[in-house]
Homo-oligomer: A and B are copies of this chain.
Amino acid sequence: MQNATYEPDTERFLADLDTLRRIGAFRTGVHRPTYAADDMESRHWLMARMEEAGLAPEMDGIGNVLGRHPGPGPKLLAGSHIESQNEAGWLDGALGVMSAVALARTGLPVDVIAFADEEGHYGSFIGSRSFTGLLEEAEIDGLANRYYGKTLRQALQEAGLAGRPRVLMEAGRYKGFVEMHIEQGTTLEAAGEQIGVVTGIVAIWQYRIVFEGQQDHAGGTTMAERRDAGLAAVRLLAWIDAEFPKHCAERTVWTCGRIALSPGAASIIPGRAEVLFQFRDISVEVLERLDALLRRGVQESNRRERCVATLKVIGQSTPALCDPAWQAALAGAAESLAPSKWRHMPSGAGHDAQYMAPIMPSAMLFVPSIGGISHHWAEDTAPEDLAMGMRVLAEGARRFLAGPA
């Protein structure tokens, strides 16, 4: 199971990924929703791979699969999730789990974990939150499948998991956590790079902006008389479009995903408009600056418009910063194996690592996504990029465990 240089067997790693993609295959991707038969088959298949790698596998009462390294001393925890979005890609999650198995095979002291339901078929990160003690039984009682309403309790029962204990992280066991993942964007691909050393997982600050005006007949009401809530919304969004670029950071993103005008008919002036708006950044300072800017925009709207705009915070999460020593170890490995073909970058999407980062030194490694495609069966990454990711992961983990040079 061990070799002197901890070189990973990239061919076997790629072969494992290829075998796994046949479980629940859908076109060129997979369909393995959490707790469905194919998902459970993949979890049992994973346990067999863990055993082959010399780990002691266990599946717990939420479906988390943990393979424990048998030796003494501090360990790394490595992994991701193994279920997929519906009719989605073969690498999202699976890459992190199978690279962790390959990492364990090198002989490094590594526990491998597949967190259940990162993709949120039943809840929000219930696997990683269970492992870190953040998931209560009462929350499990209340959850159901977001697509077709089956309760989580029923799904656990059918998957044979009801009544099993849930495994909590063992205090003092881990020196750090690492998760390899596809980028789910085109930054690396566009730059011709192979590795992203993740600086952290951005926070998402989400808002609902409601505009209250006056519903009126679009024919009988002059422009001067109108209190058009939809127009007030358009004006604020145009203001955001003009102002945010002046105040954002390099990787800040902001999105209006929904605009709903009421009643939404061609010949009726909207009396009400509702906008979903969010921005993401890794820096709390930037987030707070944009929050203040947005509030100023809403205030200016209320001074300017004949509609009342109100801002409601839906959520303001905390950025999950990656550990500097971990980043240095992975950056050093990347520069030695793929010189000038890597970068530091934040993760714009959420990952299980964000629940590990507050409790142990954590890191993430990105490999390119072809065309940036994600959450779709066409998702893919070139084999040489997968292999390079595996090699940087192993060398970075070796360096991190060895401590600063």
A residues engaging B (CB < 8 A)?
183-187, 190, 202, 204, 206, 216-223, 225, 228, 230-231, 234-235, 237-238, 241, 245, 248, 251-261, 264-270, 276, 278, 280, 314, 347-350, 372, 374-375
Contact = CB atoms under 8 A, between A and B. Distances in A.
Nearest to A270: B257
Number of copies: 2
Contacts of A254: 223
A278 B257 contact: no
Contacts of A258: 261, 264-266
A118 to B, nearest CB: 14
B268 A348 contact: no
A314 B190 CA distance: 41
A308 B93 CA distance: 34
Task: Indicate the member of A190, A221, A349, A374 with the most B CB atoms within 10 Å.
Answer: A221
A276 B278 CA distance: 25
29 contacts: A186-B221, A187-B222, A190-B225, A202-B219, A204-B219, A216-B372, A217-B348, A217-B349, A218-B253, A218-B278, A218-B348, A219-B253, A220-B348, A221-B372, A223-B248, A223-B253, A225-B372, A230-B256, A230-B257, A230-B259, A234-B234, A234-B259, A235-B238, A256-B270, A257-B266, A257-B268, A258-B261, A258-B266, A259-B260
Given A185-B225, A238-B238, A266-B314, 19 more contacts: A185-B220, A202-B219, A206-B266, A218-B255, A220-B348, A221-B253, A221-B348, A222-B253, A223-B248, A223-B253, A231-B241, A234-B241, A234-B256, A235-B241, A255-B267, A257-B268, A258-B264, A258-B265, A259-B260
